Homo-oligomer: A and B are copies of this chain.
Amino acid sequence: MNTSHASDGAADELLRALEAAGCRLTAERRAVAQLIASRDGAFDSADLLTDSRRRNLGVARATIFRTLDVLTSIGAVERLDLPSGEHSYVRCDTRAHHHHLVCTRCQRSVDLEQIGMMPIIAQIERETGYRVDGHRVELFGLCPACQAIEAGRSGEGAETG
């Protein structure tokens, strides 16, 4: 079962976001969008560079960074910091304020909207006197498939890709 349909949709979304931001749709950006879309999880610049080389797409390192920059600035991807200290990127399904839950085993991630931080923040403002202007929430754990794998029964449709 390949994921190319879902990937294409995601790639398109990235490209549309670039277009909307007034960026040119170059072959390289199409390639990067495709690479990002074919990963449904967190990835880093090195991942994309490796993928690009493996598929003979020949996108230069600098272009990957530059494309990630643009995509980040328009909110189509977000940069996050793994518990390990490395930072990686995730594609965002939504442009609205949200957070991410990342599988620490396969990197698959889900966007979380409306998780109900507002009352917590209001309480903290009351207690500390600070005015809270921004917050970052990152959750880490195991996706259902990886839970099954970790549990020892590594088959049963629990593939990560």
**Interface pair A138/B136, CB less than 8 Å apart:** yes
Q: Is A25 on the interface with B (CB-CB < 8 A)?
A: no
Residue of B nearest to A145 (CB): B129
Chain A: interface residue count, which band? 35 or more
**Interface pair B110/A115, CB less than 8 Å apart:** no
A126 to chain B, nearest CB (A): 12
Within 8 A of B (CB), among A118-144: 120-121, 123-125, 128-144
Q: Is A112 on the interface with B (CB-CB < 8 A)?
A: yes
CA distance A120 to B116 in the complex (A): 7
CA distance A65 to B50 in the complex (A): 31
Stretch from A9-17, A79-87, A89-97 at the B interface: A79-87
Q: Is A67 on the interface with B (CB-CB < 8 A)?
A: no
A-to-B contact residues, CB < 8 Å: 79, 81, 83, 85, 87, 101, 103-104, 110, 112, 115-117, 120-121, 123-125, 128-144, 147
A/B interface sample: 5 pairs, CB < 8 A: A79-B85, A101-B132, A125-B141, A135-B137, A135-B140
